[in-house]
A and B are shown apart, each in its own frame.
Chain A
Amino acid sequence: MSNINDYKGVFVFVQQVDGTAAGVAYELLGKGRELAGKLNAEVTVVLPGYKVGGLAAALARYGADRVILVDDPALETYMTEPYTRALTAVVNEFKPGILLCGATSIGRDLAPRVSARVRTGLTADCTALEIQEETGDLLMTRPAFGGNVMATIVCRERRPQMATVRPGVMRRLEPRAGASCPVVDFKVAGLAEGRNVEILEISKKVSAKLDIQEAKVLVAGGRGLGGPENFRLLEKLAEVLGGTLASSRACVDAGWCDKELQVGQTGKTVRPNLYIACGISGAIQHLAGMEEAEVIIAVNKDAGAPIFEVADYGVVGDVHKIVPQFIEQIKAAQAAKEQQDP
C-alpha cells in the first residue's frame, strides 16, 4: 500500500434509497466536521447512486466541503458488488484518512467488503469517535458483549481508518443557509460487470407485526392502564414514534394483550433505543427484561414505584392525562423538524 501519510481528510459515505439520503449521513457529516476541524482537513461526501446529484446542495448545507458523486445506472438500487466497486475506486483515487459509514444494514454489508478489498481495518457500530491528539489517529469506541463492555479501537498503520457509526448517536449540524460546495463527477468503469447476483423482487416491509426484540422503540403498558381499551392510547404513542407495543406480565395474565408482547423474565428480553413504561410498577422480573434499554422513560402515578429506579426520565402522574399530551407534543416537534430538514 502507498504511504499512509498520503491519506487525508474525512470522508462520509452517503447512503440513499430512492434518492433520499439516510438520516445518519447528516449525523456523520456533523461528526465529520468536528473531526476534520481537529485535523485541519476537509470533509468529503461520497455519494453513489443514480440521478442523485440533487442531494449535493443539502449535503453542502449540512457541512460537506466537497461531494464526490458516482452516478451510474448500476447504482440505482443498493447491491453489494457495484457499491463496493464504486467506494473502493473512490478510496484508491482520493485516499481518505478516515471513512465513515452509517451502521445501517446497507452500511454494515458494504463497509466490511470495502475494508477487505482495500486491506484496511474496520470498526463496527461506533458510538463515539475522537482524534487522539498526540498521533492524529482516530479513536473509535464501540459497545461489545451486548453493550456491557465498551472498547476503544485504533487502526494505526493502515488507511483509511474505517468505522460504521450507529444511527442516532451523532449530532447533525444546523444547516448553513445558502452554502454550496464543489461536486466531483467521478466515473467508475465496469460497475455492472460480471454480475452474478440479481434482485428478483423488492417490497416495502410491513412493520405492523414487528417483534418486540427487534423494535427500536417500545411503548409498554402495565396494570396501571386500568383496562385493555387503554392500550389504544399507547398504540398511538408507539405509532408517532415508529415504535411497537409491549406489555408487562400483569396485562398478559389479565388477557389484555398477547403473550408475544410480554417483556420480562418469563417474557422477552428487549434492548430498544427507547423504552417507555406506562403504568408499569417495575417488578424485578419485568426490570430483568428491559433494563438494558438505551433510554428508559417511566410514567406512573406511584412516586415510589421501582420502575423509577431504572428510568432515565420519570414522570409521576396519570398515564391517561400525560400520554395524550406527550403524543401531541411529539407530533409538533416532528413537524417543526421536518420543516427544517432538506
Chain B
Amino acid sequence: MKIVVCIKQVPNTNKVKLDPATGTLLRKGIPSIINPDDKAGLEAALRLKDRHGAQVTALSMGPPQAEAALREALAMGADEAVLLTDRAFGGADTWATSSTLAAALKRLEHDLIITGRQAIDGDTAQVGPQIAEHLGLPNISYAEELRLESDHIVVKRQYEDRCHVIKAKLPCLVTALAELNKPRYMTPGGIFTAYAKPIRVWGRADLDVDEADIGLNGSPTRVFKSFDKQARGTGSKVEMDPQAAAAWLVERLQEKFIL
C-alpha cells in the first residue's frame, strides 16, 4: 500500500501582521511548523503503516526552506519525501496549487492520498478536494476516524449536525482534521535517519503540467488588496435595569444576525 501525504509548511501563529509599506506578510522571526491538520494526516498514514504496512511519502510544495517540514515528516517515520519548488510555482492560488500537486501525484504511486482539511494561514480547505478532482478520484473531507478494510477505507466525518460513516474504494483522497489523532514526536533515531533519507526536489521541468495551470499565471483568482483587520474598537457599555439591559443585548444580537 502506498500512501502520499501532502503537507504544508506554515508560520506557527495566526497573529500575522502586514507590512504597512509593502502589504506583504511579516514573517520575520516567526518559526515554521507542519500545518496541524496535515500533521494529523501524516500521523494517520503512519498508523496505517504500523498496522498494515505501507510506504509513506510526504509531499510538499513551497520555497526551498519547506525542506525542514519534510525532514520532520521523515523523522516521524515517513519513508520518503518530495519537495516541489520552483519560482514558476510561486504566487499560486488553490487552483494552481492543486494542479501542481496533482501533477506530482501522477508521478508518485498512490493508493491513498491524505491532505489536511485546511492550512492555518489560508483556511480555504480547497486544495484537498481540488487535487482529487484533478486526479479524478473521490474525496472524503473532514476525517475524524479512519480505518483500512481490505481494498477500501472507512472514514467517519461530520457534516453540520450529522455524522457520516463512509466507505470508499481505493484509490481515493481523504482530508484530515487535527482532531483525528495526536501526532507522534520525532525520535532521536528518527531524526538521525531523517538526514540519511534523500529528499527528491522537483521543479517545473519535472512535472507534466500545462504552463497555464501553475503559479501566479495559472491562478484564476488574484489578491485585489489586503489589509489588517481593524483593531477591536471600544464597545458600548450600559448600566440599566435587568429587563432593559436584556432587551438591549437582544437588539445587538439581532443587529449582528446572531439572533
Enumerate chain A interface residues (CB-CB to B < 8 A). Answer: 17, 22, 27, 78, 80-81, 84, 104-106, 108-109, 111-113, 115-117, 119-125, 139, 143-158, 168-171, 196-205, 207, 211, 217, 241, 273-274, 291, 295-297, 303, 308-318, 321-322, 324-326, 328-330, 333-334, 337
Assuming the A-B contacts A122-B126, A204-B163, A309-B234, are A315 and B249 also in contact, with contact meaning beta carbons closer than 8 angstroms in the complex?
yes
Range, interface on chain B: 35 or more
B50 proximal to A (CB < 8 A): no
Bound: A81/B172 CA distance, A = 12
Q: Are A148 and B16 in contact (CB under 8 A)?
A: yes
Q: Are B221 and A274 in contact (CB under 8 A)?
A: no
Q: Are B17 and A203 in contact (CB under 8 A)?
A: no
A246 CB to nearest B CB, Å: 17
Q: Are B95 and A116 in contact (CB under 8 A)?
A: yes
Enumerate chain B interface residues (CB-CB to A < 8 A). Answer: 14-18, 25, 93-95, 98, 120-130, 132-134, 138-142, 154, 158-169, 172, 179, 219-229, 232, 234-240, 242-243, 245-250, 252-254, 256-259
A49 CB to nearest B CB, Å: 14
What chain B residues lie within 8 Å of A117 (beta carbons)? Answer: 133
Closest 10 CB pairs of A and B: A146-B14, A121-B220, A116-B133, A121-B221, A325-B246, A314-B237, A112-B129, A312-B235, A124-B124, A201-B165
Additional A-B contact list (15), CB under 8 Å, known A116-B98, A201-B165, A310-B235: A22-B160, A105-B158, A113-B130, A115-B130, A116-B130, A144-B123, A149-B18, A149-B227, A152-B225, A199-B166, A204-B163, A311-B235, A316-B237, A322-B246, A337-B259
- The 8 Å CB contact of B124, one of A125, A146, A168, is A125
A325 CB to nearest B CB, Å: 4
Q: Are A154 and B164 in contact (CB under 8 A)?
A: no
Q: Are A105 and B221 in contact (CB under 8 A)?
A: no
Assuming the A-B contacts A105-B159, A122-B126, are A325 and B166 also in contact, with contact meaning beta carbons closer than 8 angstroms in the complex?
no
What chain A residues lie within 8 Å of B159 (beta carbons)? Answer: 78, 105-106, 109
Q: Are B138 and A196 in contact (CB under 8 A)?
A: yes
